Amino acid sequence: MTDHHDDVSRETLPPALEAEPAVAAVLFGDTIIRARRFAAALAEQGEERGLIGPLELPRLWTRHILNSVIMAPLLRPGRVGDIGTGAGLPGLVLAIARPDVQFVLIEPMERRVAWLNEQVGELGLENVEVVRARAEEAKAFGGLDQVTARAVSALRTLIPLTAPLARKGGELVLMKGINAEAEISAAEKQIRRFKLHDVRVEILGDGVLEETTRVVRATVDRDERATGGVSRETFG
């Protein structure tokens, strides 16, 4: 027989946090303790602070944290920028996994910036600078070796936001969904205008994660004219 009160309480319980998948400890190595602390803080405060949706808790590790850390081996020691970090994805997760890399997290929303700064302090991360700005206004933090972004915008609008922040010879490593190839085709003009080379899609996590992820990688060979507001007619 069904107990009505049990049914009601089950319906009103918040969704449970996903148990940590075993592969998390493999991917984070000895940085897993910090990753667990970050996951717990995000699970506890994320919805209330408008960082993640209410449905994300049952997939917080798989869909968000592992999906971010899977990029960690693509980063080289140097300065890496993450544009539109939001709750910390992928930038803060990568900073946890790669203490040998310096990160600049660029995010315009005040409450997200407050969250990121708090987490940097709580986790004792010494390799992170949080900048409150839109990417278009963050040129002073440019000259980056690599630039990442996840779920910010389609490639044709994301390239003009990210490429100007990379140094000449630097790299874009942009997380993309299943339509990555189509986004590259749609961004043909921007790829030319910002002098991107070796533009390619890589699939990450095959055989490791339940859900693979895609990144668009490209080398930036820009010159100053291409980022100085020169009209589309010149380059497009």
Q: What is the 3-state secondary structure (H, E, C) of 85-143?
A: CCCCCCHHHHHHHCCCCEEEEEECCHHHHHHHHHHHHHHCCCCEEEEECCHHHCHHHCC
Instruction: Give me the least distance between CB of 197 and ligand SAM, in Å please.
Output: 24
Residue 91 to residues 1, 111, 122, 146, 227, Cα–Cα distance (Å) = 50, 16, 16, 12, 24
Instruction: Give me the least distance between CB of 113 and ligand SAM, in Å please.
Output: 9
Q: Distance (Å, rounded) from C-alpha 53 to C-alpha 38? A: 17
Q: Distance (Å, rounded) from C-alpha 23 to C-alpha 35? A: 13
CB nearer to ligand SAM: give 78 or 160: 160
Q: Distance (Å, rounded) from C-alpha 194 to C-alpha 17? A: 42
71 scored as a contact of ligand SAM (CB under 6 A): no
Residue appearing with tokens 């699939």? 203
Phi then psi for 222, rounded to 5 degrees? -70, 160
CB nearer to ligand SAM: give 30 or 48: 48
161 scored as a contact of ligand SAM (CB under 6 A): yes
CB nearer to ligand SAM: give 34 or 150: 150
Phi then psi for 201, rounded to 5 degrees? -105, 135
CB nearer to ligand SAM: give 44 or 136: 136
174 scored as a contact of ligand SAM (CB under 6 A): no
Each residue 90-109 as x (binds ligand SAM by CB under 6 A) or -, in order, gives: ----------------xxxx
Range 128-157, binding ligand SAM (CB under 6 A): 134-136, 150-152
> Which part of the chain contacts ligand SAM (CB under 6 A), choosing from 32-40, 78-86, 122-130, 222-230?
78-86
CB nearer to ligand SAM: give 25 or 109: 109
Among 81, 84, 170, 205, binds ligand SAM (CB under 6 A): 84
The binding site for ligand SAM (CB under 6 A) comprises 83-87, 89, 106-109, 112, 134-136, 150-152, 161
